[in-house]
Each structure stands twice: as structure tokens, then as C-alpha cells.
Amino acid sequence: MIQEAGNNIKTINSISLILDLFAYIGGSIFAFLSAVGRLANFTGRSVKHCFTPPFFPSQLLRQLIDIGYYSLPVVGMTTLFTGMVLALQSYTGFSRFNAEGAVAGVVVLSITRELAPVLAGLMVSGRVGAAIAAEIATMRVTEQIDALRTLSVNPFKYLIAPRVIAATLMLPILVLIGDIIGIFGGYLVGVYSLGFSSASFISQTWDMLEYMDVVSGLMKAAVFGFIVAIMGCYHGFNSARGAQGVGAATTNAVVSSSILILIFNYLLTQIFFS
Amino acid sequence: MSDKIKIELKAVTKAFGSNRVLDELYLSVPEGKSLVVIGGSGTGKSVMIKCILGLIPPDSGSIMIDGAESTGQNHKIRAEFMKKFGMLFQGAALFDSLKIWENVAFGLIHGHGMCKKEAREIAIEKIKAVGLKEQVANLYPAELSGGMQKRVGLARAVAISPDIIFFDEPTTGLDPIMAEVINELIVEQVKGLGATALSITHDMGSVRKIADYVAMIHGGKIIWKGAVGDLDHSGNEYVDQFIHGRSDGPITRRLA
Ligand SMILES: Nc1ncnc2c1ncn2[C@@H]1O[C@H](COP(=O)(O)OP(=O)(O)O)[C@@H](O)[C@H]1O
Ligand SMILES: [Mg+2]
């Protein structure tokens, strides 16, 4: 009798434990889905306001300069050294098979297809995404966004649209410049350190250069720029109150946009090259 | 002055999670009068103003402006309501990327489509009207003291000649002399525009200076309302405790 009752209690306990677990999993899935829904709604509204007047050209110009021009040194340095190290590493590898001639090709392909867009995206997410999130979160916390609305200006049009447009337009331009600098880095190492002749390195580069490689990289860059701006704006706009809220918004913007960039890079590569 | 009702709140309720901040709140403000809402910090004064402005949607209840329902309206209609409002925020909320004159002219240029040159002239006029020098116009907000920022915030709120002006704790954080200056400017600007004013504060000096009517908020409701002259003999023990700043009385600090 007692034994049986004990067993019953055990079964009931484990059932309620399993129910708790289901409730927990269900709750997490629900929270995740509603977060995705909020982000999708925010993205939709942002895009809509990019295309409907009134526009704020002076805000757009400021963002084009902030996001594009001031990111040039970061992107330039990143791609330069990446191109250089690529030449070095591929030379070490290929010389074992007497295939040194492939070095230029490896540099061109890796830079244009993957490394320039992804590294530029990640660097810009650290520089621009963080700045966007911090600025908009500060505006939220200090009631500047409320002030905008009471002065009859839609914050989506005034704050968000210029940043989204600027980042989406400027990242491909940054990456194009990054492509050139990165390949130039490979050339420097190839010619001055690995002993290639300048003419043969250039001709090998030229032979391997495909229109589609560059264009796919630039299209990736546009998507990454969009992701960086949207995540910066989203986390800034929905910032919790107080200085802590601003800090959290900045961190979340950089982490989430970096991860999304890597995920979308995979998806886009799958679409372009299979 | 007519005794038309300019703003009317009926059973307005707003909760953040389980925190019921406004609980079926009723309040009305007559046209051309200045009503001041008093109450402790965290009692929902700012939330109430933001509901009226349409910055926070109330969970339920009705908010009438000039006899028209303002809650649950689409963007176009909301925008029309917004054009009647001027607001001085608690921390002034100046746009720190813009110069002082651009801040003051912001609503004129972007909200009302005025050209820059004309808006600048009006802005400079307003900057002078709140007792600042013309040279301040070309500075950025970070270069001004808190009191000067409040003055600029006031200039920005009145620049579009609003029908209704809201003041969220206009004197909090200022020294007594600067607080007095701000109070005088508020009275001057509100009377000058013939506007209706709704202010919130816990500064009794400010109340006596700028109010025609006073209402007290507590527990999410308006628990007393009357003319400013009746404040000292309201017969309401909450009001008595508040205006004399006593620690013992019906208002107890919940220690969370
Ligand atoms: N956006 C918000 N999210 C969650 N809680 C809020 C929000 N705004 C205000 N509150 C809460 O509402 C209550 C009243 O706030 P508020 O209106 O700012 O008080 P006060 O009367 O000092 O102006 C506080 O408990 C505050 O924490
Ligand atoms: Mg407040």
C-alpha cells in the first residue's frame, strides 16, 4: 500500500516535471518567435519609411559620410593585411605541390567572394552598428525620440531610414575599395617577399578575376550593411531605460549583427554558387 | 475665457506588466487655464502626459482633445493632434547633434514646412524671449548648463505657437533662483499665447506660481482637484501631507 502510494507520488512528480519542461520549452519558443516577429515588423516599417516622403537629405548625407567615409581606414587596413597574409599562407601550402602559380588566384577569389565582404561587414558592425545603437538608445533614454514625435517628425523617417539607406549603399562601395586594397596587399607580398615577377602576378590575377565573384561580394556587402543598420537601430530604439540600457543595446546590436552576417553569408554563398 | 473643456481623460488605465500605473484616471482641463498635477515620484505623472501626447498608448479609457477622441486613431489624425501640442521634457531632451537655433526651429521646419531662413528668425526671437543671448543660437546643447537647456526646451515648446503646452517637472534640478526664472517664463509664455497648460511637478513653489487649478495624483487616480487658492484648506489629508512634505500621514513609502 505505502509502496504503491510512493510510486504514485513519484509518477505524479515526474509528470509535473515533464510538464514544467514542456512549459519552459514552449515559453522559450514563444518568446523567440515573438522577438522574431517584433524584429520583422520593425524591419518592414523601416524599409517602408525608406521609400516614402518626407525625406531628410541632410541626415542622409551625414550618415553617408559617417558610415562610408569614416569606415574607409578600418576596412582598408583589414583587407590590406588579409590580402598579404593570404598570399603568404597559400604560397607555403601550394609550394609543396609546385603550384605557386595559384597564389594570385587564391588571393583574388578569397578576397572578392568572402573575405572582403565578411570582414568589412564585421568591422563595420563593430564601428557603425555600435555607434548607431548607442546614439539611438541615448536619444530614447533622454526622451529625444519622444521630442521628435511631439515636433511632428516620424523617428523612422528622420533617424532610421537615413542610416539604413546609407549603410546599404556604402558597404558595397567600401567592399569594392577593400577588394582593390586586399588584392594589392597580396601583390605586395607576392612580388616583394615571395619573388614573383610583377607582370606574372598581375596577369594571373587578371586571368582569375571573374565578374560574378566581385558582384556577388558586393551584393553580400549590401545585405550586411542593411543588417548592421537595422540591428543597430532596432536595439537602440527598444533600449531599456538608464545608462545600463544603452550599454546593453550596443552589445546586443554588435553581437546579433555579427552572427546574422555570418549566417546570411552562408545562405547567400549557397544561393550564388550552387 | 470660455469654460470649454480642452483636455478630458476618462477612465484612462495603463499598466506596465503587473505595475498598474494609471488606474481609471479622470481629469479635465478647461481651455486657457493652467492645471498643475502634483504627486510623488513614480506615481505616473509622466506616463499620464505621454498618454495624452500619444507617445504611450493607454490600455483602456478615452482621451478627448477639443472634444475629439485622440486614442486609437491612425497616423494622419494623430499628426493633426500633435500639431496642437508643445512639450517641455523633464531633461529638456534637446537634440544634441543640432545647434540651439536648429533645435528651436525644428518643429517649424519639419513639422510645419517653414523655410529655414524664416524659421531661424522666429527661433532667435524665441531664444531671446526666454532670456538667452543671440550668440547662444549657434552653440550645441552640450555647451549649455542645465538651466539654459531648460530655457531652450521652453523656447522649442512654444516656437510652434501650440494650443496646449505640457511641462514635465520644469524646475526639478534647478537652483531656486533659476527655478523662479523658469516659472516666470512659463507664465509669460502661456499667457502670451493664450494657451492651455498642463504641468506636472512636485515643487510647491512652482505650483503656487503657475497654477490656476491643482490636481493630486495618487495610486493611479486623481484624488483631489481644486483651485490653487483652495490648496491650503483642501480638507484632504493626502494633499496636506504632500504640500507640507511630512513623512507621517496616509502616503506611505512602500519599501520594495
Ligand atoms: N516605458 C516604461 N516601461 C515600464 N515601466 C515604466 C515605463 N515608463 C514608466 N514606467 C513606470 O511607471 C511608473 C511611473 O513612472 P513616471 O510616470 O515616470 O513617474 P513620475 O510620476 O515620477 O513622472 C514608474 O513605476 C515607472 O517605473
Ligand atoms: Mg516624471
pLDDT digits (tens, 9 = 90+) for B141-176: 999 998 899 999 999 999 999 999 999 999 988 888
In the predicted model, residues of chain A with pLDDT beneath 70 are 1-3, 5-6
Query: Which residue CA neighbors atom 3 of ligand 1 most closely?
Result: B16
- Determine the distance separating the centroid of ligand 2 and the alpha carbon of B51, expressed in angstroms: 13
Longest CA–CA span in chain A (Å) reads: 94
Distance CA A59, CA B97 (A): 11
pTM over 0.95: no
Distance CA A49, CA A51 (A): 5
Angstrom distances, CA of residue A29 to CA of A23, A24, A39: 10, 9, 15
Q: How many distinct structural domains can be found in chain A?
A: 2
CATH of the domain at B212: 3.40.50.300
Contact A153 B91 (CB under 8 A): no
Residues A112 and A213 sit within 8 Å (Cβ to Cβ): yes
> Which residues touch B92 (CB under 8 Å, ≥6 apart)?
B141, B146, B149, B150, B152, B153
Compute, in degrees rounded to 10, the torsion defined by CA atoms B49, B53, B56, B57.
Answer: 110
Looking at the structure, do residues A126 and A82 belong to the same domain, yes or no? yes
The confidence score (pLDDT) of residue B256 equals: 39
The answer to whether the CB of B47 is under 6 A from ligand 1 is: yes
Query: Which residue CA neighbors atom 6 of ligand 1 most closely?
Result: B16
Distance CA A239, CA A133 (A): 9
> Residue B2 above 70 pLDDT?
no
> Which residues touch B202 (CB under 8 Å, ≥6 apart)?
B38, B39, B40, B41, B169, B172, B242
What is the rounded average pLDDT of the residues B82-109?
95
| CA-closest candidate to residue B34, choices B68, B9, B70, B7 | B7
Q: Which residues pair with B198 in a beta bridge?
A: B35, B166
- Cell numbers that stand for B33 in this block: 487655464
Coil, strand, or helix at residue B54? coil
Sequence letter at residue B11: A
Angstrom distances, CA of residue B27 to CA of A180, A197, B174, B225, B233: 66, 85, 28, 9, 21
| CA-closest candidate to residue B171, choices B207, B131, B130, B127 | B207
Looking at the structure, do residues A219 and A233 belong to the same domain, yes or no? yes
- Expressed as residue numbers, the domain containing B59 is 1-75+206-256
Side by side, which strands form the sheet with B19-30?
B19-30, B5-16, B60-65, B68-69
The Cβ of residue B235 has, within 10 Å, a number of other Cβ atoms equal to 9
The confidence score (pLDDT) of residue A15 equals: 85
The confidence score (pLDDT) of residue B255 equals: 44
What is the overall mean pLDDT for chain B? 92
Quick one: DSSP state of residue A69? G
Least confident of A158-167, B24-33, B67-76: B67-76
The confidence score (pLDDT) of residue B202 equals: 86
Residues B43 and B99 sit within 8 Å (Cβ to Cβ): no
| CA-closest candidate to residue B51, choices A146, A56, A235 | A146
Ligand nearest to the CA of B50: 1
Looking at the structure, do residues A17 and A131 belong to the same domain, yes or no? no
The confidence score (pLDDT) of residue B168 equals: 95
> Residue B224 above 70 pLDDT?
yes
Q: What is the ipTM of this complex?
A: 0.92
Looking at the structure, do residues A5 and A74 belong to the same domain, yes or no? no
The confidence score (pLDDT) of residue A33 equals: 93
The answer to whether the CB of B70 is under 6 A from ligand 1 is: no
Coil, strand, or helix at residue A188? helix
Q: Which residues pair with A59 in a beta bridge?
A: none
Looking at the structure, do residues A26 and A83 belong to the same domain, yes or no? no
The answer to whether the CB of B199 is under 6 A from ligand 1 is: no
> Which residues touch A217 (CB under 8 Å, ≥6 apart)?
A112, A113, A114, A116, A117, A175, A179
The verdict on residue B47 lying in a domain is yes
The answer to whether the CB of B42 is under 6 A from ligand 1 is: yes
Looking at the structure, do residues A30 and A158 belong to the same domain, yes or no? no
The verdict on residue B200 lying in a domain is no
The verdict on residue B113 lying in a domain is no
In this complex, which of B83, B93, B112 lies closest to A147 when CB atoms are compared? B93
Residues A255 and A232 sit within 8 Å (Cβ to Cβ): no
Residues whose beta carbons lie less than 5 angstroms from ion ligand 2: B 46
Contact A150 B156 (CB under 8 A): no
How many CA atoms are closer than 13 Å to the CA of B59, on its beta-carbon side?
13
Looking at the structure, do residues A134 and A261 belong to the same domain, yes or no? yes
The verdict on residue B13 lying in a domain is yes
The confidence score (pLDDT) of residue B18 equals: 93
Q: For residue A262, what is the enclosing H or E element?
A: helix A243-272
Q: Which residues of A touch B (CB under 8 A)?
A: 54, 56, 139, 142-144, 146-153, 158
Instruction: Collect all residues of chain A within an 8 Å Cβ-Cβ radius of residue B50.
Output: 146
Quick one: DSSP state of residue B235? -
> Residue B1 above 70 pLDDT?
no
Residues A113 and A219 sit within 8 Å (Cβ to Cβ): no
Looking at the structure, do residues A138 and A22 belong to the same domain, yes or no? no
The confidence score (pLDDT) of residue A186 equals: 96
- Expressed as residue numbers, the domain containing A30 is 1-52
pLDDT digits (tens, 9 = 90+) for B169-196: 999 888 888 889 889 989 988 888 899 9
> Which residues touch A2 (CB under 8 Å, ≥6 apart)?
none
Distance CA A213, CA A170 (A): 19
Residues A185 and A81 sit within 8 Å (Cβ to Cβ): yes
